[in-house]
Structure 1
Amino acid sequence: MGSLGVDFISPNEKLELKFDSSSLPPFKLSEIRAAIPKHCWIKNPWKSLSYVLRDIIIVFALVTMAIFFDNWKFWPIYWILQGTMFWAIFVLGHDCGHGSFSDSALLNSVVGHILHSFILVPYHGWRISHKTHHQNHGNVEADESWVPMPEKLYKELDYATKLFRFKIPFPLIAYPLYLMRRSPGKKGSHFNPYSDLFQANERKFIVTSTLCWTLMVALLFYLSTVVGFLQLLKLYGIPYMIFVMWLDSVTYLHHHDHEEKLPWYRGKEWSYLRGGLTTVDRDYGVFNNIHHDIGTHVIHHLFPQIPHYHLVEATKAAKPVFGKYYREPKKSGAIPFHLVENLVKSMKKDHYVSDNGDVVYYQTDPKIFNYSGKKDE
C-alpha cells in the first residue's frame, strides 16, 4: 500500500474493470446521427423496388423448379430456400412500415400490403405494434417485442405455459399466435381495429390490412381446391413455417445474448438511446445480403428511417461513437451455426426479470429443467 493509500500496480500488471453496459453513455443520439454520412439517409424508391423485384423473381423461380422436379430429394431444399425468401420479403415489407423504403407514404403502403399480405402478415397492424416496439425498446413496461416477464407474472404461469415458452422451442413458431393474441400479460389482436394496440384514428388502417390478409387466406383456400391441399402445403405452407422460424429466431437473437446480460429499464432510468443500445448486431454469413442486412440491428433500432442498403455503412461510421457500448457481432462462416448455440442457451437462461429495480436483467428459473410438479412458492 502506497503512502496515499492506493495499491501499487506494476507496469507489467493491468487492471481491467468490467464494463457496465447499463451505465449512462457518454454520448448523445445527435452525436451518432452526425457521424453517419448524409447519403445514408437518402431513400431511393427505384433501388428499393429493385430488391422487391429480385426477391419476387427468386420466389417464382423456386416455385417453378419445385413443380418441375416434384421429388422428395428437392422438396427439403425448396422449403429452406423458399422459407428464407419469404423472410426476405418480410424484411422489405418491414422497411415499408418504417418509411425507409421510400419517401412516399402511398408507395410504402401499397408495396407493404402486397408483400406482407403474401406471407399472411397484417401490414398496418404489425407496422403500428412494431413502431411501439421501436419507440420503447428496452423498456420492461412498454416494449412490445420479446418483452421480459416480471417475476410475479412469470410465477403465475402454469408449468405447461412455461414449458412451451422456454423449454420446448415453441416460441420459434409462435408468431401467428402473437398476431392473434400478443404475448402473455398483454391483450389485443393485430387484426381487431378496436384492440388496445391501436388508437381510434388508426382503426381504418387495421380494417384495410385485415381485409387484405383475409383475401390472401381466401386465395390460398381457392388454390388448395385447384392444386390440392398437400401440394399447397409443400409449395406454401412449409416455407411459411420456415419464414416464421426465421422471424422469431432473428428477433430473439437481436434482443438476447447468452454471453452477456443485457439490461432492461424501468421508469426514469429508461431512455430511447439506452434502450437502443441493449439491442445486438448479428452476422448471418451468406444470409446477410439475402435478408437485406437485418443483422445491423443497433443502428436500425436507433434510426429506422435509414434504408437497409445503407445500414452496413452507417454502422461502420457510428462504431467509433459507440465505443464499448457496441457489441461486435461474432464473425460467421457461410452458415451461422454459432447462432444456434446462442439461441438455445439464451432460451435456457432468460426467463423473467425482478419486479423491483429500475435496471434489471434476465433471471433463470432452474425448476423448468428439473420439474417437481410443485407450484412456485
Structure 2
Amino acid sequence: MFVSPFRFILCMWLTTCPAFNDAFSVYLSVSFLDSHYFAFLLLNVNNCWQGGSIQFCWGGGRMGSLGVSDEYDLKGAFPEEEKKVKGVEMEFDPSSAPPFRIAEIRAAIPPHCWVKNPWRSLSYVLRDFLVVASLMALVLYLDSWVAWPLYWAAQGTMFWAIFVLGHDCGHGSFSDSALLNSVVGHILHSFILVPYHGWRISHRTHHQNHGNVERDESWVPLTESMYKKLDDSTKFFRFKIPFPLLAYPIYLIWRSPGKKGSHFSPYSDLFQPEERMSITISTLCWSLMASFLLYISTVVGPLPVFKLYGIPLLIFVMWLDLVTYLHHHGYDKRLPWYRGKEWSYLRGGLTTIDRDYGIFNNIHHDIGTHVIHHLFPQIPHYHLIEATKAASPVLGKYYREPKKSGPIPFHLVPILVKSMSEDHYVSDEGEIVFYQTDPQLSSKKKQQKAA
C-alpha cells in the first residue's frame, strides 16, 4: 500500500491533537519502508517484524481523570489501604516515613507498563520532527506578522517536546538499547543546544537525591545564610518573573547557586573520571550544532535564523523552567525538604507534584505525570498515566492529583507567581525544613504592583 507524503504528514499532525489521540492509530505497510527508511529496520528488527505490517501507536495522552477522587474525599474508597496507613488517617505526614514501601508501589503497577517499545518511541521522534519541519515550511510560506508569533509559540512548544524525548533517552525509558538511547538522545538534545550526557548525568543526580537540601541538583532551595548574602538586585531577578524562566542556559554553564561545575566540561565536579569521554562527545555534538547555526547565519543573515530558531529556543527554555519548577514547587500546602537521616529516595520522590497542562499533555509526552516518573524513571512516558492510576490506591494522600486544566493551563500562572513570591529560602538547620518567605522582598513586590 502506498502512503502519500501529504496523507502521512496529516496523520502526524492529527496525532498531536488529544481529541484524535484516543481513537487514532496509524498503520503503515512494510512496503512503505523503502530504501529511504531502511535505517529504522536496522535499529531493532527483532522487536518489530510481525507478519506484514508495523503499527505506530501514538496514543498516551491524558485520558480524562486518573480515576482518583479529590484528595480530601479518598477516605473510605480503599479500606484495605486504610489499614496500611493506620495512624496518619491517609494524610501526608512529613515528620515520619511513608506507611508503605517503594516495593508496594512497584507491585501495583502492571507488568506491561515497564515494557519499552523502541518502535513506538521512534514514532514519537518522527512525529515531532515532522511537525517541526512543517511549522518551519508553513511560516516561511506565509511570512506575515500574524504567522510569526503563532509560529514562535508552537515551535517553542515542539522544541520542548523534543527535549522530553531526549530526556527519556537519558533515563533509558526510550528503549532497552543503550546505543540507540545515546544516538537518538544526542540528535534530539544537540538540535536544541543541550549537551546530552552532561545534562543526563546531572539529571540522574537530581532523581537520586530529590528533596535533599544538600545533594539535590536542580531548583535546589537557597539556605537562609546563602540568601542573606545576595544583594537586592540578585534577589529581585532570581524571584521576579520572567527572569527565573530563562535560567536554564545559566544552569548549564555555571550550575545551581552554591555548586560548582559546568555541563560542558569533562572535569566538572558533576562527573566521575570514567564519564569524561561521554561529556567530551556531547560537548562536541553541541559545538557542531552551534557552528552550523553560525554558518547558516553568515549565509542568510542572523535575523532569519533568530526568527526561525532563536526565538523558539527561548520559548523552549521558558517551558523547561516553568515545568521543572512547578513539579517541585507551588503546592497549596508547602512540601518539605530533607537533610541527613530524614531523607530517603521514597520520601524525596513523594514531594514531587503532578500537573495538568491541558492540550499540551499529549504534545509534550505527558511530562506532567511526574510523581511516578520520579520514583520509577525507567517507565516509558506512554505508560505513565496508567502506572499512576494503578499506584494511586497505594499512595493515598501521598499522591496529590493535579487540578484539572482547561485547554490552556492558565491556572498555573497564579500558582507560579505565588510560589515565586513566597518560596525564598529554607533554614540552615533542621532535618525537615520548609520554604520561608522574605517579608522585605514580598513587600517590595507589592509596592511595585501598587505603583
Q: Does 1:236 align with 2:309?
A: yes
Residue 148 of structure 1 aligns to a residue in which SS?
coil
Name the counterpart of 1:104.
Answer: 177
Q: Confirm or deny that 1:328 pairs with 2:401.
A: yes
Partner-residue secondary structure (3-state), 1:353:
coil
My pick for the range that moved more, 319-328 or 19-28, is 19-28
> What pairs up with 1:110-259 in 2 under 5 angstroms?
110-259=183-332
Matched, 1:366 2:436: no
C-alpha separation between the residues in 1 aligned to 2:238 and 2:331?
17
CA deviation vs aligned residue, 1:115-163 (integer Å, no higher than 9, x gap)? 0000000000000000000000000000001111111111111111111
1:48-85 CA-partner distances (Å, limit 9, x unpaired): 00000000000000000011011111000000000000
Q: 2:123 — aligned with what?
A: 50
Q: Distance in 2 between matches of 1:72 and 1:185?
A: 43
Percent identity of equivalent pairs: 75
Structure 1 unaligned segments of length 5 or more: list them.
Answer: 1-15, 373-377
Aligned equivalent of 1:263, options 322, 327, 336: 336
Of residues 151, 167, 176, the one that matches 1:78 is 151
Instruction: State how far apart, in whole Å, the 1-side matches of 2:135 and 2:92 are.
Output: 47
Shift of 1:17: 7.9
Paired amino acid for 2:402: P
Q: Distance in 1 between matches of 2:429 and 2:92?
A: 19
Task: Judge conservation of contact 1:84–1:243 (CA < 8 Å) in 2.
Answer: yes
Q: Is the 8 A contact 2:90 2:397 kept in 1?
A: no
Q: Scaled by the length of structure 1, what TM-score is found?
A: 0.93
- Answer yes or no: is the 8 Å Cα contact 2:165–2:174 preserved in 1: yes
1:346 to 419, 434, 438: 419
Instruction: Report Cα offsets for 1:311-368 as digits up to 9, x if no partner.
Output: 0000000000000100110000111100111111111111100011100000001211
2:389 is the counterpart of 1:306: no
Q: Return structure 1 stretches of 4+ with deviation > 6 angstroms.
A: none
Q: Tell whether 2:106 aligns with 1:19.
A: no
- The verdict on how the C-alpha distance between 1:168 and 1:286 changes in structure 2, with shifts beyond 3 A counting, is closer
Hey, what does 1:290 align to over in structure 2? 363
Count how many residue pairs are aligned between Structure 1 and Structure 2: 357
Please point out which of 63, 66, 71 is paired with 2:136: 63
Find the aligned partners of 2:375 and 2:359 in 1 and give their Cα distance.
25
CA drift at 1:258: 4.5
Length-normalised TM-score, structure 2: 0.78
